[in-house]
């Protein structure tokens, strides 16, 4: 089967992004895994090995912790950025930093696509086992 093109996947080594990596391969895409070190404790070498074992063509691991703090965390603190008008922003702050790096890698590697591995927002409906997927703000 010929490739549909290359995808730069924001990869963590966890279940969701590992399943997405395999699914993208099954759909005919070449996968370039990207792991961003934003300061978390993680075994990046183990995640690299896993991505390659699952079929990634290449793996990029970059330490972006300094720019994450300087360009994303600090401005968010200065502006009192909140999630749902209540919680200090946490992990979602990393997403634009990671996406920017994915695009840079896609341009360097000639990849047509980028992909994230985030799960959808789920709301528990209060009845046993019932949940509903939620769309982003402004997308009703």
pLDDT of residue 136: 45
Q: How are beta strands 30-37 and 58-63 bridged, if at all?
A: parallel
pTM: 0.78
Q: Concatenate the DSSP letters of all residues of 48-97 into one string.
A: HHHHHHHT-SEEEEEE-HHHHIIIIIHHHHHTT-EETTTEE--GGGHHHH
pLDDT of residue 90: 67
Locus of tokens 């980028």: 114
Tell which CATH architecture fits domain 6-64+95-118: 3-Layer(aba) Sandwich (3.40)
Domain boundaries of the chain, sorted by first residue: 6-64+95-118
Q: What tens digit of pLDDT does each residue of 92-107 get?
A: 788 888 999 999 999 9
Low-confidence ranges of the chain (pLDDT < 70): 1, 90-91, 118-140
pLDDT of residue 75: 84
CB 50 within 8 A of CB 13: yes
């Amino acid at each position: 089967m010929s490739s549909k093109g290359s995808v730069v996947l924001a990869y963590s080594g966890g279940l969701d992004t590992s399943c997405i990596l395999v699914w993208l391969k099954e759909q005919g895409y070449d996968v370039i895994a990207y792991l961003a070190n934003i300061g978390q404790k993680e075994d990046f070498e183990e995640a690299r090995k896993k991505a390659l074992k699952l079929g990634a063509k290449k793996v990029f691991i970059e330490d972006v912790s300094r720019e994450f703090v300087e360009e994303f965390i600090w401005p968010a603190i200065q502006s009192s950025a909140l999630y749902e008008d209540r919680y200090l922003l946490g992990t979602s702050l990393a997403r634009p930093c990671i996406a920017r790096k994915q695009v840079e890698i896609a341009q360097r590697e000639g990849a047509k696509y980028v992909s994230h591995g985030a799960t959808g927002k789920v709301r528990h409906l209060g009845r046993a086992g019932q949940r509903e997927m939620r769309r982003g703000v402004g997308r009703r």
